[in-house]
Amino acid sequence: MNPYITVLTLGVADLERAVAFYRDGLGWATQGIMGTEFEHGAVAFFKLQSGLTLALWPRQSIAADTGLAWQPPSATEFTLGHNVASPSEVDAIMARAAQAGATLVKAAQPTFYGGYAGYFQDPDGHVWEIVFNPALASL
């Protein structure tokens, strides 16, 4: 099997708040919330790169759709990495995220592998690593 991931879905507590964070706070483009006419259908999509889409969907809707019981979120389940071109870009994105309401988890600093990175949590607790990794710069 050749893995080809096209959508990453983040479960959120408040869809409008989450959309505002990514759209207004981080400046990501979206057509806004759609699917509100369907029970558990409200969702927002953000086009990323190379055919990848970020979806924001209420946690309760994910539970209803999958049939799994709702569970409290855990910030240490996974992280999302956003690789950028320079340490100054890491700093700029970290500052923008904080201004938009993110919680800074770890200030940006040099890494053991010769890069530069910091962590923040979005309003729903999802952990983002903003990183300059020279080894990934050409990917």
Q: What spatial distance separates the first Cα and last Cα of the chain, rounded to whole Å? A: 22
Query: SS3 for 81?
Result: strand
Q: Alpha-carbon distance 67 to 94, whole Å?
A: 36
What element of type H or E holds 130? strand 127-132
pLDDT in tens, the chain (139 residues): 778 889 999 999 999 999 999 999 999 999 999 999 999 999 999 999 888 999 999 999 999 999 999 888 899 889 999 999 999 999 999 999 999 999 999 999 999 999 999 999 999 999 999 999 988 865 5
pLDDT at 120: 97
Q: Are strands 116-121 and 127-132 parallel, antiparallel or unpaired?
A: antiparallel
Report the predicted TM-score, pTM, of the whole model to 2 decimal places.
Answer: 0.90
Which residues are paired to 57 by β-bridges? 11
User: In the chain, what are the domains?
Assistant: 7-66 (3.10.180.10), 79-136 (3.10.180.10)
On whether the CB atoms of residues 110 and 31 are closer than 8 A, the answer is: no
Q: Which two tokens stand for residue 118?
A: 């910091």
Separation of alpha carbons 117 and 29, rounded Å: 24
* Backbone torsions φ then ψ of 40, nearest 5 degrees: 65, 25
